[in-house]
Amino acid sequence: MRRRTSPAGQGRRPYARLPAGLLLAWLLPAPLLLAPAPGRAQGPQAPQGPQAPQGPQAPQAQSPQVPQPAQGQPAERASEGVQTAQSQEASPVPPATAVPGLPQAPAAEAAGRAAGPALAGSLGDDPSWRAYRARFVTEKGRIVDTANGLISHSEGQGYGMLLAVAAGDRAAFERIWGWTRANLMVRSDELMAWRWAPDHRPAVADMNNATDGDILVAWALTEAAEAWGEPSYRTAARRIAVEFGRKTILFRDPHGPLVLPAVTGFSARDRADGPLVNLSYWVFPAFQRLSLVAPEYDWASVIRSGVEILRRSRFGPSGLPTEWISAKEDGLRPADGFPPLFSYNAIRIPLYLAWAGIGRPEDYAPFRTLWGGIDRERLPIVDTGDGRPVEWLSEPGYTALPALVACAQDGTPFPESLRSVQDGQNYYPTTLHLLALVAARMRTPSCLKP
Amino acid sequence: MPQAVTRRLVAAAALALAAPALAAPALAQAPEAPVPRVVYGDGARAPAIMVDPETSRTPGMVDESALRYYASQKQTARMKAEIARLKRLYPGWSEPPDLDSLQPSPPEEAPLWDLFTAGRLQDLRAAITARRSVDPAWQPSEELARKLRRAEFRSSVAAASSKNPEEIVALYRADPGALDPADVESIWTIADGLAATGATEDAFTLYKSVLDGNADAGARLATIQKAMAHLKMDQAERLIAMGRQDPSGTSEFDPIRLDITRARIAAFLHDEPAQTPTLPDLTAFQAYARKTAEPSQTGLLGWYAYKRRQFREALEWFKQAIARGGDAMVAHGLAHTLRELNMTREAEEVAFAWRDRFVGNELLYIDLLERKLTLASPPFIEPARIERYARVVNATASGEGAQGLAWYAYNSCQFDAALEWFQRAVAWMPSESTVFGYALTLQRLKRQRPYLEVVNRYDGLFPKVVELLFRESQGGPPLPCAVQGAPPPAGRAAPAPAAAPRPEPQASYGRVPRPDAAGGRAEAVPQAVQRGEFPLAVPLDNPLRYPPAGLAQAAAPGSYAREPAAPAPPLVARRVPGAGAMPYERYGYALLPGYNGLDKPEGLGTAPPGTLWQEQQAERGRSAAPESVRFSVPARTTSERTLPPEKGYP
């Protein structure tokens, strides 16, 4: 287990979500989206340069004082506010209409029976989390991808928020979320810019989103809202979930709902072999919980389509899915312009399956075959064309994934060496290791008994 | 009731509601049917009736065991008596055709049949194994083997029925022949499981097998309800079309036509193909909805009208549903209906009152007022309304609400308040228009250093923000409030907004050009941006944070990572995919290539085909309605889950 400095595996997680082939699509002319978000502020009414004022504006006498946010507002006047407002309205709402009726189960509570055990607290007071925090979570709340030029991304922020909830560390959660929204919520919608590089001007490197990052953050916010009853987390979770449900999920695709990896670059219009999917963006345990905040979507159908696509994406002799898959035709195939690899992304597929407690034994079979061989100390990156390893992921944290699968499928106890996180590894293997521990504690805690 | 209750839930609830009504006639006709009995024919040894008392109650399952036993023993008189008894109990039933060919079971099987009769299937299995270990050539009779296999299958299906549908499906797939075609209960369980795991055509085939078989009327009705609960409605419609019609043309499924209508409405709300409810059916459903105390039914009609854009009708239904104790989703429908009817003030009240019960109402409340606050000509808004809005915005840490308040404050010359709200907005949602407003306010307040810091921080990302440095005038045309004097002191009663005629401020807005700009510069010469203003090396992360009020600041034990030491911040911006062209590019200044090599400005493109977003845009295009996409309406919700299943309808 001392391979952490293997030159091949160490850190070089190619984070290029947008390969060279994609650039062509990106260079197509597209209208600049500088207008404000649909439905959002119709542009500031601030002066816009040399132009006539746009019609009569409200006289100042009609603009009441806007309270400054710092002022503590007494909170008990909520119902009174209704009355006050109504008394000044020409056509008030009948009180019977506006005022809630008899006490009943709040919708959120009703939806609280969403499938799946809760994440919060599942990590307990694990020293591994504190070690993780001290190594990857900055004081400002940024999760540093130590193997990728110390950049940050929405995926890492989402993982950090999930782990903070699992560890019951609310202060850390708020820090991470605070940084995330302050630095990645720069789009004109409710999704996050996916990539942030600390030494670049501007630090946001790409306005496109990464749908898995959005999903992870929305899920973490949902769990945090459940755990701590913080309304602002629920509000934010809903904003994000409704938005990626609307903008990146093709609910009516013949394959079943498809998760587009991003708003831009992967659709049938963007690519000749589009739509493209990445199976590791099906964060199955998230879909089991998002009905808490966005009940209008059929999340169960998203889970089903992911499992179905996995069953139909057994490429080559190894029967493994590639990172990027073309869902253009009825038959799925490795996407054009990408090496047909089972790699950094796709190793998360069995993690999410086991974490959600779904899938049949045969769904895990190709991963178990791949990981059950003699080489248990590193994971192969496989060329699905010939089924051979082309590279190895040698940091020990990665091997928590095979351990989780063996635990979920056979009840195999976690190896002692994997019950806590080893120092000196990079962001990605360490994160996957902690996530696998959380998944095991939630789904099959018996594997972690002494 | 949501616009579309999950169809499954609607139908499941409907099934629960309808079940007593369906079961009642069958029970009345067959009082002894639910009592599990064992009938012994020939002395003590012969078993006759299926053993599982749990499932022998199954409505629609005619127990032919005794009959088959008598037939196999060639006891013709008893056989005929049993046929008569079964026909009396189950009017639709007719005897199976294979009675003549049944073989009598060998006498030595008597103890095994006893075990079977007693339901001791495991013991029976063990006894067979034991016998075969002594006498490998021995086989149980075909009849016993088949019955055992089916009984085992039936009990394992029943045991799995409350569990993962995958397990049920796996059981079935492993041995489809073990499913007794007359075992309606197991057929339902398996079909439900198949549908839940996506094998809807197989599920359809199983439901259809019940209709093709000899099941009684109650089981046939229940099959339709099961199918409506678990299949897409167009599949269920194919089953409904199989209904037998009496001479007057009435379908045998008429007794559940309310359920069918409800399922058709739900399918419409989901944009799923289904028959349109006929006018008589719809009228009947409306009458039922009026009569019932259940607000979800009136609520469903509200969403049905809403979706057909019959907003006046929707309003009536939603109001009725609220009056009957409708939940927060009904209120959500009501608020959206009011909004569509341009009664935004009322919509705001409804959404506000119900904000705690459904987060969607809270967001609707925030968005409704945000729109007004950011209108080009903002309407008068009472101080109390703004105050309560501010409280909600703070409690929900809403960037949308914060920038709404900020713009409203800005446009009424309350710059200090605007600044604080913009700070929150930028902490929570630093989009281009929010950062622009923040920078503008800083500029107006002559907070030069923070202003420059913000503009430089977003160089390369937000052209409109950087443009602030490059435009001719600083500050733009004066705001009406500035022209007309100082704002009123806080708390003073505002004059009635609508009655007072608006002043005509345009005349006073003539903009005087600044002297150096008026001299007529050459087109391609950059504006005089001070060297000390741009580009500046500034910290590139956004430091603003406004955590929720309730958060205990006590840090958990342990520490955080240090921010990695960075070299001096760069002065030249990189191209960011999805950001527009920077204003200085028109003077020939270039940006560094983006992280992916991109060297030309490029937008983010439009809605991907196949998304709901694209549909909404197309719809908006057709109706020429304004962009109101944030007011998207849920397509389905879970509120139906709160429906108490014991509540029946008349």
- d(CA B605, CA B609) in angstroms, rounded, equals 11
Residues of B within 8 A of A234 (CB-CB) are: 359
Alpha helix segments (H runs only) across A312-426: 348-356, 361-371, 400-410
Range 129-188 of A in CB contact (< 8 A) with B? 130, 133-140, 142, 144, 150, 169-172, 174-175, 178-179, 181-183, 185-188
Range 394-413 of A in CB contact (< 8 A) with B? none
Give A158 to chain B, closest Cα distance, Å: 16
**Residue-wise DSSP of B516-563:** HHHT---TTSPP---TTTSS-----S-------TT---PPPSS--BPP
pLDDT at B375: 81
Sign of the CA dihedral with B312 first, then B315, B321, and B323 last: negative
Pick the last residue of a domain from A247, A271, A294: A247
Best residue of B355, B541, B586, B640 to probe chain A, by most A CBs closer than 10 Å? B541
The distance of Cα A176 from the centroid of its chain, to the nearest Å, equals: 14
Three-state secondary-structure class, residue A101: coil
Name residue, tokens 């509000």.
Answer: A235
- d(CA B627, CA B617) in angstroms, rounded, equals 8
Q: Which residues contact B135 (CB under 8 A, 6 or more apart)?
A: none
The token duo for B365 is: 């409340």
- Most confidently modeled of A157-161, B354-358, B474-478? A157-161
Angle at A416 between CA A413 and CA A417, to 5 degrees: 130
A-chain residue closest to B567, CA distance:
A199
Range 366-395 of A in CB contact (< 8 A) with B? none
Best residue of B361, B366, B585, B596 to probe chain A, by most A CBs closer than 10 Å? B596
Indicate whether A307 and A159 sit together in one domain: no
Amino acid at residue number A259 = V
The token duo for B535 is: 């580009």
- d(CA A185, CA A173) in angstroms, rounded, equals 17
- Nearest CB to A40: which of B350, B400, B506? B400
The distance of Cα A237 from the centroid of its chain, to the nearest Å, equals: 11
Sign of the CA dihedral with A352 first, then A354, A360, and A364 last: positive
* Mean pLDDT across chain B: 78
Inform me whether the C-beta atom of residue A365 falls under 8 Å from chain B C-beta atoms: no
Indicate whether A259 and A390 sit together in one domain: yes
Residues of B within 8 A of A246 (CB-CB) are: 611-613, 616, 632
Residues of B within 8 A of A92 (CB-CB) are: 346, 349
Whether the Cβ atoms of residue A1 and residue A396 lie closer than 8 Å to each other:
yes
Residues of B within 8 A of A264 (CB-CB) are: 577-578, 604-605, 608
Contact A234 B359 (CB under 8 A): yes
Higher pLDDT, A51 or A229: A229
pLDDT at A65: 62
CA atoms within 13 A on the CB side of B386: 28
Nearest to A326 by CA among A309, A303, A301: A309
pLDDT tens-place string over residues B433-472: 999 999 999 999 999 999 999 999 999 999 999 999 987 6
- d(CA A12, CA A394) in angstroms, rounded, equals 11
Amino acid at residue number A250 = L
Q: Which residues contact A269 (CB under 8 A, 6 or more apart)?
A: B608, B609
Best residue of B576, B591, B619 to probe chain A, by most A CBs closer than 10 Å? B576
Give B43 to chain A, closest Cα distance, Å: 49
The token duo for B423 is: 């700070």
Task: Give domain limits for chain B.
Answer: 7-277
Indicate whether A418 and A276 sit together in one domain: yes
Give B161 to chain A, closest Cα distance, Å: 17
Q: What is the mean pLDDT of residues A292-304?
A: 92
Q: Is residue A92 scored above 50 in pLDDT?
A: no
A325-326 and A249-250 as β-strands: parallel, antiparallel, unpaired?
unpaired
For residue A133, report the phi and psi dihedrals to the nearest 5 degrees.
Answer: -60, -45
* Mean pLDDT across chain A: 79
Give B442 to chain A, closest Cα distance, Å: 13
Q: How confident is the model at residue B473 (pLDDT cuts 50, 70, 90)?
A: low
Neighbours of A54 (CB within 10 A): 11
Task: Please compute Rg for chain A using Cα positions.
Answer: 24
Q: Is residue A72 scored above 50 in pLDDT?
A: no
Q: What is the mean pLDDT of residues B246-259?
A: 92
Task: Say yes or no: ipTM exceeds 0.85.
Answer: no
Strand order in the sheet with A325-326: A276-277, A325-326, A333-334
Indicate whether A129 and A252 sit together in one domain: no
Beta bridge partners of A334: A325
- d(CA A286, CA A170) in angstroms, rounded, equals 20
Indicate whether A243 and A301 sit together in one domain: no
SS3 content of chain B, % helix, strand, coil (to 5): 55, 0, 45
Nearest to A289 by CA among A105, A118, A440: A118
Best residue of A18, A48, A63 to probe chain B, by most B CBs closer than 10 Å? A63
For residue A75, report the phi and psi dihedrals to the nearest 5 degrees.
Answer: -95, -5
Contact B460 A201 (CB under 8 A): yes
Indicate whether A286 and A412 sit together in one domain: yes
- d(CA A281, CA A305) in angstroms, rounded, equals 12
Q: How many domains does chain A have?
A: 2
For residue A301, report the phi and psi dihedrals to the nearest 5 degrees.
Answer: -70, -30
Angle at B367 between CA B365 and CA B369, to 5 degrees: 70
Indicate whether A259 and A234 sit together in one domain: no
Q: Is residue B26 scored above 60 in pLDDT?
A: no
Overall pTM surpassing 0.80 (yes/no): no
pLDDT at B142: 85
pLDDT at B164: 82
Contact B374 A45 (CB under 8 A): yes
- d(CA A265, CA B242) in angstroms, rounded, equals 47
Pick the last residue of a domain from A189, A214, A247: A247
- Nearest CB to A91: which of B346, B543, B554? B346
Contact B616 A246 (CB under 8 A): yes
Sign of the CA dihedral with B451 first, then B419, B370, and B2 last: positive
- d(CA A207, CA A226) in angstroms, rounded, equals 30
Neighbour-count burial of B146, counting CB atoms closer than 10 A to its CB (0-12 exposed, 13-18 middle, 19+ buried) = middle
Three-state secondary-structure class, residue B21: helix
Could you confirm whether A212 is annotated as catalytic? yes
Amino acid at residue number A338 = F
State which residues form the domain around A335. Answer: 248-450
Alpha helix segments (H runs only) across A88-230: 95-98, 107-111, 127-136, 154-166, 170-184, 211-228
Contact A110 B491 (CB under 8 A): no
pLDDT at B493: 35
- Most confidently modeled of A333-347, B215-229, B533-547? A333-347
A-chain residue closest to B375, CA distance:
A42
Indicate whether A194 and A261 sit together in one domain: no
Whether the Cβ atoms of residue B563 and residue A142 lie closer than 8 Å to each other:
yes
A258-259 and A276-277 as β-strands: parallel, antiparallel, unpaired?
unpaired
**Residue-wise DSSP of A394-411:** -SGGGGHHHHHHHHHHH-
Catalytic residue among A126, A169, A174, A212: A212
Number of H helices, E strands in chain A: 15, 11
- d(CA B634, CA B602) in angstroms, rounded, equals 33
Indicate whether A203 and A253 sit together in one domain: no
For residue A250, report the phi and psi dihedrals to the nearest 5 degrees.
Answer: -90, 90
Q: Please tell me whether the peptide bond between B136 and the residue prior to it is cis, using omega within 30 degrees of 0.
A: no
The distance of Cα B267 from the centroid of its chain, to the nearest Å, equals: 13
Residue A106, domain member (yes or no): no
Q: Is residue A155 scored above 90 in pLDDT?
A: yes
pLDDT at B71: 79
Contact B611 A248 (CB under 8 A): yes
Alpha helix segments (H runs only) across B73-120: 76-89, 110-117
Contact B560 A105 (CB under 8 A): no
Strand order in the sheet with A341-342: A341-342, A379-383, A388-393
Name residue, tokens 């079940």.
Answer: B19
Residue A22, domain member (yes or no): no
Sign of the CA dihedral with B370 first, then B375, B381, and B387 last: positive
- d(CA A240, CA B448) in angstroms, rounded, equals 34
Task: Please compute Rg for chain B using Cα positions.
Answer: 37
Residues of A within 8 A of B610 (CB-CB) are: 250, 252-253, 258, 267-268, 275
Contact A246 B612 (CB under 8 A): yes
Pick the last residue of a domain from A198, A213, A247: A247
Contact A183 B430 (CB under 8 A): yes
Whether the Cβ atoms of residue B69 and residue B41 lie closer than 8 Å to each other:
yes
pLDDT tens-place string over residues B570-596: 999 999 999 999 999 998 899 999 999
Indicate whether A277 and A356 sit together in one domain: yes
Contact A183 B542 (CB under 8 A): yes
Beta bridge partners of A325: A277, A334
- d(CA A44, CA B351) in angstroms, rounded, equals 25
Residues of A within 8 A of B352 (CB-CB) are: 81-82, 98
pLDDT tens-place string over residues A113-135: 445 577 999 998 889 999 999 99
pLDDT at B92: 73
Inform me whether the C-beta atom of residue A232 falls under 8 Å from chain B C-beta atoms: yes
Indicate whether A331 and A394 sit together in one domain: yes
Q: Which of B300-309, B312-321, B542-551, B621-630 has the lowest mean pLDDT?
A: B621-630
Indicate whether A284 and A416 sit together in one domain: yes
Answer left, alpha or beta for residue A11, where phi above 0 means left and psi between -120 and 50 means alpha.
left
B-chain residue closest to A234, CA distance:
B359
- d(CA B497, CA B600) in angstroms, rounded, equals 49
Residue A276, domain member (yes or no): yes
The token duo for A372 is: 């059950």
Residues of A within 8 A of B387 (CB-CB) are: 67, 73, 77, 81
The token duo for B122 is: 């495991």
Range 72-131 of A in CB contact (< 8 A) with B? 73, 75, 77-78, 80-82, 84-86, 88-89, 91-93, 96-102, 104-108, 110-111, 113, 130
Name residue, tokens 């006590």.
Answer: B554
Could you confirm whether A363 is annotated as catalytic? no
For residue A390, report the phi and psi dihedrals to the nearest 5 degrees.
Answer: -110, -15
The token duo for B111 is: 């103890």
Higher pLDDT, B330 or B64: B330
pLDDT tens-place string over residues B498-537: 333 333 333 322 222 222 333 334 444 445 666 678 899 9
Alpha helix segments (H runs only) across B118-216: 121-134, 142-160, 165-174, 184-196, 200-212
- Nearest CB to B603: which of A33, A171, A202? A33
Write the CATH number for A239. Answer: 1.50.10.10
